[in-house]
Amino acid sequence: MQELGDIEKQPHKKVKKNEIPLEFTILATHNFARASIMRLPHGEVQTPVYMPVGTKGAMKGVTYSEMDDLGCKLLLANTYHLAYKPGGDLLEKVGGLHKFVNWKHNILTDSGGFQMVSLSQLSEVTEEGVTFESPYDNSTMHLRPEDSIHTQNQIGADIIMALDDVVRTTTVGPRMQEASERTTRWLDRDIEAHKRKHDQNLFPIVQGGIDPKLREQSLNDLIQREANGYAIGGLAGGEDKVDFWKTVAQCTAKLPVNKPRYLMGVGYPVDVVVCSCLGVDMFDCVFSTRTARFGTAFTDNGFLKLKNKEAANVFEPIQKGCQCQACKSYTQSYLHYLIARKEVACHLISIHNLNYLLQLMLNLRQSIIDGKLIEFTNGFLQNWFKNEGQIPQWIIEALEYAGIPVKQL
């Protein structure tokens, strides 16, 4: 186990020279877990990091200034949706998405691959690419790897994603193998099509579902391509939790140590803690803001449903000590009543949930630097599962693998 403690005071160990638009510096580790700095064209990002999702160039009800105020340095947008509206040509004309939305920090764009699953009723995949029927106006969009990369070049995000052939995680048999192998073939077309290698980082996506052999093959194929960072795709789709963590662990064990790893679509607080311990550096998920719109807030003791009548007479913030504007300004009681009246209540809960995850990541990161990840993780789990009375076995096993002994409640 490598414990680097007070390493932030020391000169950073540069893993890569700044010849590429990404510089990844590991400050401290605890087995697989890493506390790092990722330098991108629009500034530094401290990892492990949670990336809020602004699919169409907007966080629902939360302004970019509020995101900045939360300390967010990297957020996500979606190529598929932006390609429809406002369109890649327009974004290129105005100088890219950063300028269009007035966001001075980093952006990562998803390639549109995920929509093959989320809009599967409206899409058809062939070796050439994917054809979508627009949910907006019934028009047709042909998204080949070249198209996705071209649009992402126009959008100008700091990190762009390879177009992958995405199938449901629980898919088995030849279709999963086909998808995994096609993802590699498409990656070569992505790399060929990528015109902004100097200022945009193309991340390939490891596929293979929960089949270790397919994952192994995908990992081998992708690592050979020497990308600036890698994503782990095809998870968080309803698979068994044991399969989930073992797949993550298989990927992080194999992926290059000196490059960032991004676990796509994962953003439950417990999952990001466990997977950070397994060596993941980046996460994204719409859950934090989507669940907020239904009145559910993240707390150290798990999810708090502010719509429940029990919240009506609780004159305390969602989370004591939280510095977000919802917690500094309002009690659970007020938010409980406001939810029924105004959508601004949901904006406030969204802000709280985003802040919760951003802070959770920073605290976890600091514990790695301080050599206290075991204490941090145990403390987190003790609180999170306090009301349930038991920590799920898969978490204990995953963390044991990560060299973090967990005390059952």
112 is in an annotated binding site: yes
> In angstroms, how far is the first alpha carbon of the chain from the final one?
26
Instruction: Tell me: does residue 308 bind other proteins (CB under 8 A).
Output: no
114 is in an annotated binding site: yes
Among 21, 48, 52, 57, binds other proteins (CB under 8 A): 57
Cβ nearer to other proteins, comparing 333 with 366: 333
Q: From residue 277, how far is each of 17, 171, 247, 259 by CA, in Å?
A: 27, 27, 14, 16
Cβ nearer to other proteins, comparing 215 with 347: 347
Instruction: Tell me: does residue 1 bind other proteins (CB under 8 A).
Output: no
Of residues 307, 351, 314, 354, the one with CA closest to residue 332: 314
Q: How far is the CB of 219 from other proteins (least distance, A)?
A: 37
Among 14, 16, 60, 290, binds other proteins (CB under 8 A): 60
Tokens 């993550």 identify what position?
248
Q: How far is the CB of 333 from other proteins (least distance, A)?
A: 6
- 263 to 302: interface string for other proteins, x by CB under 8 A: ----------------------------------------
Cβ nearer to other proteins, comparing 60 with 372: 60
DSSP letter (8 states) at residue 59: B
Among 2, 10, 58, 126, binds other proteins (CB under 8 A): 58
* Torsion angle of the four alpha carbons 315, 318, 323, 329, in this order, in degrees rounded to the nearest 10: -40
Q: Which two tokens stand for residue 43?
A: 């500034």
Instruction: Tell me: does residue 69 bind other proteins (CB under 8 A).
Output: yes
Instruction: Tell me: does residue 338 bind other proteins (CB under 8 A).
Output: yes
Distance CA 256, CA 333 (A): 48
- Helices marked H in 94-224 — which ranges? 97-101, 115-118, 145-155, 174-193, 212-224
Judged by DSSP in three states, 130 sits in strand
For the segment 339-398, give every residue that binds other proteins (CB under 8 A).
Answer: 340-345, 347-348, 351
Count of other CB atoms within 10 angstroms of residue 256: 14
CA atoms within 13 A on the CB side of 174: 0
DSSP assignment string, 100-126: HHT--SEEEEE-STTHHHHTGGGEEE-
Among 131, 325, 366, 382, binds other proteins (CB under 8 A): 325
Cβ nearer to other proteins, comparing 337 with 401: 337
Count of other CB atoms within 10 angstroms of residue 151: 23
- Helices marked H in 241-322 — which ranges? 241-254, 269-277, 287-292
Q: Which two tokens stand for residue 59?
A: 């966080």
Instruction: Tell me: does residue 119 bind other proteins (CB under 8 A).
Output: no
Instruction: Tell me: does residue 331 bind other proteins (CB under 8 A).
Output: yes
AA letter at 10 = Q
Cβ nearer to other proteins, comparing 90 with 409: 90
Cβ nearer to other proteins, comparing 86 with 371: 86
Beta bridge partners of 123: 132
322 is in an annotated binding site: yes
- 91 to 110: interface string for other proteins, x by CB under 8 A: ---x-----xxx--------
The residues that are catalytic are 110, 284
Instruction: Tell me: does residue 330 bind other proteins (CB under 8 A).
Output: yes
Instruction: Tell me: does residue 195 bind other proteins (CB under 8 A).
Output: no
Binding site members for substrate: 110-114, 164, 207, 234
Residue numbers at the binding site for other proteins (CB under 8 A): 56-66, 69, 81, 85-86, 90, 94, 100-102, 312-313, 315, 325, 328-331, 333-334, 337-338, 340-345, 347-348, 351
